[in-house]
């Protein structure tokens, strides 16, 4: 009798193990093959394109894609980003291929980004850092006129000081383009070939197109007529 019961017990255990294994496999398999809706470009999108949700359609992909963390799973996360590479139609978008506009180009996509020369003396003692607002002035000095000795004490024409623009600072750089620490004209981590801290030499600002034209006109006066650009911290 015992010899007959033992095979039955073993059979029941084997059947239970088989059922458990089948159920476990089925759950995990279904989890891996079930699908989710992923945004994909409707057509190829070139690099440096400001993205919007209407450029994408929803397409089904395996749910396992979500666990990888490499792809953008919502069209809302794509809106306002900029493509860093060509986004191919019908394919999921990797996170490295669409990044926030301010991260990719230093400023809001509606603004142009321009650099201008700036040193510590003419730029608030280099107490300027990213995110601040600054005022740019153009100082144009009148050329000295040759006068007889008798009239040497006559007043010279006054310099002309013109307000150019109020702009937002996007970056503060040394002359080799390395970023500087906030609120200082040197950065211990940014050194030149002689291992010395680099001074502030370039100010990068963001502004509308019309303002950029005004800044360029002022830079032209500096180059052609010896004018001076002076930068102040704007009032809040």
Confidence of residue 13 (pLDDT cuts 50, 70, 90): low
Answer with the residue of higher pLDDT: 195 or 155: 155
Is residue 190 scored above 60 in pLDDT? Answer: no
* In the chain, ranges of CATH 3.90.1210.10 domains: 35-101
Segment 135-154 shows an average pLDDT of: 72
Confidence of residue 228 (pLDDT cuts 50, 70, 90): very high
Fold of 35-101: Type Iii Antifreeze Protein Isoform Hplc 12 (3.90.1210)
Is residue 181 scored above 80 in pLDDT? Answer: no
Q: Of 161, 159, 193, 155, which is closest to residue 174 (Cα–Cα)? A: 193
Helix (H, G, I), strand (E, B) or coil at 113: strand
Is residue 229 scored above 60 in pLDDT? Answer: yes
Residue 184: its pLDDT value, please? Answer: 42
On whether the CB atoms of residues 187 and 173 are closer than 8 A, the answer is: no
Helix (H, G, I), strand (E, B) or coil at 141: coil
Confidence of residue 172 (pLDDT cuts 50, 70, 90): very high
| pTM of model > 0.85 | no
Residue 8: its pLDDT value, please? Answer: 61
The pLDDT mean for the chain works out to 82
């Amino acid at each position: 009798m015992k010899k007959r019961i033992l095979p039955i017990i073993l059979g029941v255990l084997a059947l239970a193990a088989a059922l458990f294994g089948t159920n476990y496999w089925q759950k995990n398999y279904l989890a891996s093959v079930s699908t989710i809706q992923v945004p994909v470009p409707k057509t190829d999108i070139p690099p440096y394109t400001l993205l919007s949700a209407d450029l994408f359609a929803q397409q089904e992909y395996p749910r396992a894609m979500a666990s990888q963390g490499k792809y953008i799973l919502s069209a809302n996360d794509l809106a306002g980003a900029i493509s860093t590479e060509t986004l191919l139609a019908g394919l999921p978008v990797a996170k490295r291929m669409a990044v926030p506009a301010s991260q990719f180009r230093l400023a809001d996509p509606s603004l142009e980004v321009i650099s201008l020369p700036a040193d510590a003396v003419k730029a608030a003692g280099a107490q300027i850092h990213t995110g601040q607002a600054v005022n740019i002035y153009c100082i144009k000095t009148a050329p000295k006129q040759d006068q007889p000795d008798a009239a040497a004490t006559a007043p010279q024409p006054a310099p002309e000081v013109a307000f150019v623009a109020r702009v937002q600072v996007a970056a503060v750089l040394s002359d080799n383009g390395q970023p500087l620490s906030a609120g200082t004209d040197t950065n211990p981590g940014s050194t030149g070939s002689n291992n010395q801290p680099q001074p502030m030499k370039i100010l990068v600002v963001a502004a509308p197109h019309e303002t950029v034209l005004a800044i360029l006109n002022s830079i032209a006066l500096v180059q052609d007529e010896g004018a001076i650009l002076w930068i102040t911290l704007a009032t809040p």
